[in-house]
Structures are given as C-alpha cells and as structure tokens.
C-alpha cells in the first residue's frame, strides 16, 4: 500500500491545528481566574461550574475537554458530529449532577476526556489527512 503524496503534510497540518488549539487553551489559563476554565467563570452560578472555576486541576481538565471536543467536532462528518454533540449534552447533565463534589467532577472529566481521546485516536487511525 502506498501513501498519497500529501499524506504527511496533511497529518502535520492536523497535528499543528490540534497543538495550536491545546496551547492556546493552556495560555488562556494564565489569563486569570475569570477565564481559568473553558467558560467565563465570572458568570458561573451552577455549583458544578463554580467548583470547576475554584479548582485549578478541574479547570485544566475543562480546558482539555473543551479543546478535544472542539477539534473532534471539526474533523468528523455531520452524522457523527450530531452524535458527539448529543453525548456532550448528556455529559453536561452528568457533570451538573455532581454539583460541587470535586471527586465526582474529576471522575466525570476523566471519563469524558477518555471518550474524546478514543474518538481522536479513531480519527487518526482512519488517516491520512
């Protein structure tokens, strides 16, 4: 099996986009507590959001999750995108059920990030890009 001539540049471009998204999200953490998570913490009223904003580890997990979600939804077709969006909405309800319980939130983030990382691995395995 031969690799198309543009396979490596496309894969490199995909990695560059993902890296740029991850690093820009990480740089956003340094902007201050109002932007510590992937959402504006100054408006956080729900207990789960307030807990994420108050906990650096959870805020970092939130940024990672949001970045993975954003990249994946740009790389999949409409049918799969709708499924991923439905899963994300269900996960947000699950996160809300944790209220301010940081252990529950950490487990919820770990599970969802694992799902999104698996989805990213599936996308990579179907390359080339």
Spatial distance between the Cα atoms of 72 and 109, rounded to a whole number of angstroms: 16
pLDDT at 43: 87
Do the beta carbons of residue 10 and residue 129 sit within 8 Å?
A: yes
Model confidence pLDDT, tens digit, residues 25-57: 444 444 444 446 888 899 889 999 999 999 999
Count the Cβ atoms, other than its own, within 10 Å of residue 28: 17
Model confidence pLDDT, tens digit, residues 73-110: 999 988 899 999 999 999 999 999 999 999 999 999 99
What tokens does 29 get?
């953490």
What tokens does 126 get?
């179907």
Contacts of 44 (CB under 8 A, 6+ apart): 37, 50, 52, 53
Residue 4 clears pLDDT 50, i.e. is over it: no
Map out the domains of the chain as residue ranges.
11-125
What tokens does 37 get?
């998570």
- pLDDT (mean) for 102-127: 95
What stretches of the chain show up as alpha helix (H) in DSSP? Answer: 7-29, 47-54, 56-75, 78-97, 102-125
Out of 6-20, 61-75, 96-110, which region has the weakest mean confidence (pLDDT)?
Answer: 6-20
Residue 65 clears pLDDT 90, i.e. is over it: yes
């Amino acid at each position: 099996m031969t690799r198309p001539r543009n396979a490596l540049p496309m894969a490199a471009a995909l990695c560059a986009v993902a890296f740029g998204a991850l690093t820009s999200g990480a740089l956003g953490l340094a902007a201050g507590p109002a932007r510590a998570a992937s959402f504006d913490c100054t408006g956080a009223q729900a207990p789960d959001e307030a807990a994420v904003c108050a906990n650096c580890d959870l805020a970092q997990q939130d940024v990672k999750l949001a970045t993975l979600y954003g990249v994946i939804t740009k790389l999949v077709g409409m049918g799969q995108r709708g499924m991923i969006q439905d899963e994300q909405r269900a996960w947000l309800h699950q996160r809300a059920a944790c209220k301010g319980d940081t252990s529950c939130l950490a487990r919820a983030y770990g599970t969802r990030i694992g799902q999104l990382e698996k989805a990213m691995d599936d996308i990579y395995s179907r390359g080339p890009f």
